[in-house]
Amino acid sequence: MPLPRARLAFVLVTALLGLGAGPLSGEPSPTPPSAVLPRLVSEGHAPAAAMLSVSPSASQFQAAGSGIRRADRFRAGSVTKTFVATVVLQLAAEGRLHLDDPVGRHLPGTVPPRAGRTVTLRALLTHTSGLPDYTTGSSLHTASAPTAREAVRRALATRAYGPPGHYRYANTNYVLLGLVIERVTGRPYAVEAGRRVIDRLRLTGTSFPGARTTLPPPHGRAYDAAGRDVTALDPRTAWAAGELISTMDDLNRFYAALLSGRLLPPPQLRQLLDTRPANGRYAMGVYPRRLSCGTTVWGHNGHITGSYVRTATTSDGRRTVTFRVNTNAVPLGTLRTLEPALLEAEFCRTNRLSP
How far is residue 112's CA from residue 156's CA, in Å, rounded to a whole number? 7
Angle, to 10 degrees, between the axis of helix 171-185 and the axis of helix 148-158?
120
| Burial (Cβ within 10 Å: 0-12, 13-18, ≥19) of residue 255 | buried
The torsion region of residue 91 among left (phi > 0), alpha (psi -120 to 50) and beta comes to alpha
224 and 305 Cβ atoms separated by less than 8 Å: yes
Concatenating the DSSP letter of every residue in 316-351 gives TSSSEEEEEESBS-S-HHHHHHHHHHHHIIIIIHHH
Peptide linkage before 218 cis (omega within 30 of 0) = yes
How far apart CA 258 and CA 159 sit, in angstroms, is: 35
The residues facing 302 across adjacent strands are 309
Report which of 238, 248, 225 is spatially closest to residue 78, judged by C-alpha positions: 238
The one catalytic residue in 78, 129, 246, 307 is 78
Query: Is the separation of the CB atoms in 307 and 301 below 8 Å?
Result: no
Strand, coil or helix: 179 = helix
Where b means 16+ CB within 10 Å and e means fewer, 39-67 reads: bbbeebbbbbbbbbbbbeeeeeebbbbeb
63: three-class secondary structure by DSSP: strand
Residues 6+ apart with CB under 8 A from 41: 47, 48, 49, 64, 65
Q: Are 199 and 41 in contact (CB under 8 A)?
A: no
* 78 carries an active-site annotation: yes
Residues paired with residue 167 on neighbouring β-strands, in sequence order: none
Beta carbons within 8 Å of 182's beta carbon, 6+ residues apart: 188, 189, 192
The catalytic site residues sit at 78
